Amino acid sequence: MQERTLQTIDDAIALVKQSSLSHIKLGLSDIDGVIRGKYMRKDKFISALQSGFAFCDVVMGWDSNDELYDNTTFTGWHTAYPDAAARIDPSTCRRLPLERNAQGEDMLFFIAELDGPAAQVCPRRLLHRVIQRAADLGFDAHAALEYEFFMFDETPDSIREKQYRNLKNWTPGNFGYSVLRSTVHADFYEELMDLCERMDLPIESLHTETGPGVLEAAIAVDRIDHAADKGFLFKTFTKALAEQQGLMATFMAKWSHHHSGQSGHIHLSLTDRKTGLNVFHDPKAEHHMSALHRHFAAGQQRYMPELMAMYAQTINSYTRLVPGYWAPLEASLGVENRTTALRVIPGGPKAQRIEVRIGSADANPYIALAAALGSGLLGIEQKLEPTFTFGNAYTQEFPESIKFPQTLWEAAQRLRRSDAARDLFGNVFVDHMAATREWEERKFREYVTDWELQRYFEII
C-alpha cells in the first residue's frame, strides 16, 4: 500500500500494523505555522486514529518562543491549559526520508488537527471552513505556493554564539537564476528536490534569487487544502534537511536590512465543482477574466488591508513593507504586473489565476490561504468590481482606503474591527489571532534594538 494513497482510517491502520516502526510521528500547526508534534507508540497511534487523542491546548496559548500569552481568552492560566481533542487525518500520511529505523524503514508522518471547541482556533480547521464556504457556492479552489528563503553556512549553535550577527551566507554575491551556483551546489539542490518528491511536495521550479545564498522554490499546484499542507511541511523539512548538512535555512520575511525580503506568493484559481472547469477563464473577455474572476480579485483587493495580520503575521513581516523594497504598500491590482499586490495572470483554461504577492515567507500557509480564498469569495458574494493599476505601482498615489497597516499592532486592530473577518473566520478565531499579534508587538517593544543603540547611545 502506498502511503500517499491512503484515504481512510482503516487504510492507515493497515499500513501502520505492517510497518517495522515502533513509533509513528505526527504534527499539527500552531498559530505561527510551527509544527508541534510528537512520536506515538504504534498501538497508541492506532487508538488515536480510531478515537482521536488529546493534545495540550498550550500549543495555541504560547508564542513561537514558548512564552505564554497573557491576553488570550481561548486558553491561558484562567483555563489551566486543559487537553484539547485532536484527530489525525489519514490522507496526510507521508514517508519522512530524513528519519530511518534500524531496519531501514523511513519514518511515517501524519498531520493532525485540533477538534471540538479548539477547532475554532486551529489554523488547518480555519482553512477547511473557508473551503466549505467555497464548496457551498459551487467551487473548488486550487493553489500553489512560492517561497524564498536564505541559506547560511551556520548551525543553531553558531548563530547563537554570534548573536545572529556576521553570519556566513551559503554563497556570496547576488547571481539570480545562477546555473553556476546550482551546479556547484548540486548535491543540496538534488537532495531537496528528491526529499520533496518523496514527501509529495513536488517542487515545480527551484532557482537562486538575487542575494547571497537565497533560493526560491515553487511548489506544484494542488487542491488548496493539499497546497496548504505542502507549504506547512515544506518549510520545516527544508530547514531539517539543511541542518542535517551543517547548513541553515530561514524563512524570515527579512533577515537583513542590506538585502531584499523573502516572499511567500500565493497563486489561486477556482473550478466549478460539477464540470471541473476553471471559472476564472473567459476566452472572450478582456485579459480572459470572467466576471467571477473580476469579483474574486475585487474581494481580495477590498479586504486585504483588513486582513494584513493574516498575510504579514510577524513584527519582521513589516520590514518588507517599506518603500523601495519590491513590496507593494497598498492593495493594488494589475494584469501581469509584478509591482502590484495582486497580479492577474491571463492564460488558457488551466492557467488563468490570480497571484497574491504581498505575503511573506514567514506566514502560516493555512491562515494566509484562508485570507486569500475567503476575501475572494466575499467579492463573488457581493459582486464587487476591481480597480486596476497600470505601470509602476511603486511610483503612484493610492487612496487611503486601500493602504496597508504599517505595523503589526495596527494590522491586529484592523483585524479586530473587521466585520468581513468575523463573517469569514468567526469571532473566536479573530479575537484569538488579533490577541496573539498584539502580544507579539508587545514582546518586541520590550527589547532594545541595535538600531536604537547605534542611533542614540552616544549622541543623545
Same domain, yes or no: 141 and 237: yes
User: CA 358 to CA 227: how far, in whole Å?
Assistant: 18
Q: CA of 112: how far to CAs of 69, 202, 230, 322, in Å? A: 23, 21, 14, 37
Q: Is the pLDDT of residue 329 over 90?
A: no
Grid cell in block for residue 48: 488515536
What pLDDT, on the 0 to 100 scale, is given for residue 259? 87
pLDDT tens per residue across span 150-192: 999 999 999 999 999 999 999 999 999 999 999 999 999 999 9
Same domain, yes or no: 233 and 290: yes
Same domain, yes or no: 190 and 320: yes
Rounded average pLDDT over 305-334: 88
pLDDT tens per residue across span 407-443: 999 999 999 999 999 999 999 999 999 999 999 999 9
Neighbouring-strand partners of residue 51 = none
> Is residue 460 in some structural domain?
no
What pLDDT, on the 0 to 100 scale, is given for residue 5? 72
Same domain, yes or no: 116 and 162: no
> Is residue 457 in some structural domain?
no
Domain with 34 in it: what CATH number? 3.10.20.70
What pLDDT, on the 0 to 100 scale, is given for residue 177? 95
Same domain, yes or no: 114 and 180: no
> Is residue 451 in some structural domain?
no
Residues spanned by the domain of 48:
3-121
Q: Is the pLDDT of residue 6 over 80?
A: no
> Is residue 458 in some structural domain?
no
pLDDT tens per residue across span 375-391: 999 999 999 999 999 99
What pLDDT, on the 0 to 100 scale, is given for residue 92? 97
Residue 62: DSSP 8-state: B
Average pLDDT, the chain: 95
Full-model pTM? 0.96
Rounded average pLDDT over 349-353: 93
pLDDT tens per residue across span 97-131: 999 999 999 999 999 999 999 999 999 999 999 99
4 pLDDT band, cuts 50/70/90, is low
Q: Is the pLDDT of residue 321 over 60?
A: yes
User: What is the chain's alpha carbon radius of gyration, rounded to the nearest angstrom?
Assistant: 22
> Is residue 285 in some structural domain?
yes
Residue 341: DSSP 8-state: S
Same domain, yes or no: 216 and 349: yes
Same domain, yes or no: 185 and 102: no
Better-predicted residue by pLDDT, 366 or 449: 366
> Is residue 198 in some structural domain?
yes
What pLDDT, on the 0 to 100 scale, is given for residue 325? 61
pLDDT tens per residue across span 188-205: 999 999 999 999 999 999
Residues 282-309 as b/e (b if ≥16 CB within 10 A, e otherwise) read: beeeeebbbebbbbbbbbbbbbbbbbbb
Same domain, yes or no: 134 and 75: no
Residue 404: DSSP 8-state: P
Same domain, yes or no: 272 and 162: yes
Q: Is the pLDDT of residue 2 over 70?
A: no
Q: Is 252 within 8 Å of 362 (Cβ atoms)?
A: yes
Scan for cell 502580544, then name that residue.
Answer: 439
Last residue of one domain, picked from the residues 71, 94, 121: 121
Q: Is the dihedral of CA 70, 405, 126, 417 positive or negative?
A: positive
Domain with 427 in it: what CATH number? 3.30.590.10
Q: Is the pLDDT of residue 230 over 60?
A: yes
Question: 236: helix, coil or strand?
Answer: helix
Same domain, yes or no: 116 and 149: no
What pLDDT, on the 0 to 100 scale, is given for residue 323? 67
pLDDT tens per residue across span 233-279: 999 999 999 999 999 999 999 999 888 888 999 999 999 999 999 99
Same domain, yes or no: 116 and 157: no
Q: Is the pLDDT of residue 29 over 50?
A: yes
> Is residue 263 in some structural domain?
yes
Q: CA of 338: how far to CAs of 207, 250, 328, 354, in Å? A: 18, 24, 9, 12
Q: Report the number of distinct structural domains present in the chain.
A: 2
Q: Is the pLDDT of residue 1 over 50?
A: no
Question: 296: helix, coil or strand?
Answer: helix
> Is residue 454 in some structural domain?
no
Same domain, yes or no: 9 and 158: no
What pLDDT, on the 0 to 100 scale, is given for residue 351? 93
Rounded average pLDDT over 140-144: 98
What pLDDT, on the 0 to 100 scale, is given for residue 156? 97
What pLDDT, on the 0 to 100 scale, is given for residue 400? 86
